[in-house]
Amino acid sequence: MSANTIKKAKALAKDGVVKIEDDLYQIKSSSDPTKSYFVTSETCECEGFKNFYKFHHGKGLKANCSHLEAVRIFKEMHKKPEPKKGK
Ligand SMILES: [Zn+2]
């Protein structure tokens, strides 16, 4: 993944990701603010993700895009702290 994608993903994770429910997120499109994508930890609705499978079909590769990466970063940022003993 390019450094640019990671940069974009980090920006999205900061203020473009909305958690809908467990493993379902809504991410604003960076190119069109009226659009947004539904993203899980494995899939994304964006063109880049779909095209990946078109081009690499059957090669056993996992698609990635800035949105999937943003969700991954978002989860890292919002990880629940370790439960403390003896409350
Ligand atoms: Zn995407």
pLDDT(62) > 70 = yes
Buried b (16+ CB within 10 A) or exposed e, 21-37: eeeebebbeeeeeeebb
- The arithmetic mean of pLDDT across residues 11-30, rounded, is 94
- The arithmetic mean of pLDDT across residues 58-66, rounded, is 81
- Whether 83 maps to a domain, the answer reads no
Q: What are the φ/ψ torsions at residue 71 (nearest 5 degrees)?
A: -65, -40
Ligand 1 centre distance from Cα of residue 81 (Å): 28
Ligand 1 centre distance from Cα of residue 33 (Å): 14
Q: Can you give the residue range of the structural domain that contains 61?
A: 3-77
pLDDT value, residue 74: 96
Neighbouring residues of 65: CB distance < 8 A, sequence distance ≥ 6: 5, 44, 46, 48, 49, 52
Total domains in the chain come to: 1
- Whether 51 maps to a domain, the answer reads yes
- Whether 16 maps to a domain, the answer reads yes
- Whether 24 maps to a domain, the answer reads yes
Cα separation, 32 vs 71, in Å, equals 19
Cα separation, 27 vs 68, in Å, equals 10
pLDDT-derived band at 9 (thresholds 50, 70, 90) equals very high
pLDDT value, residue 85: 79
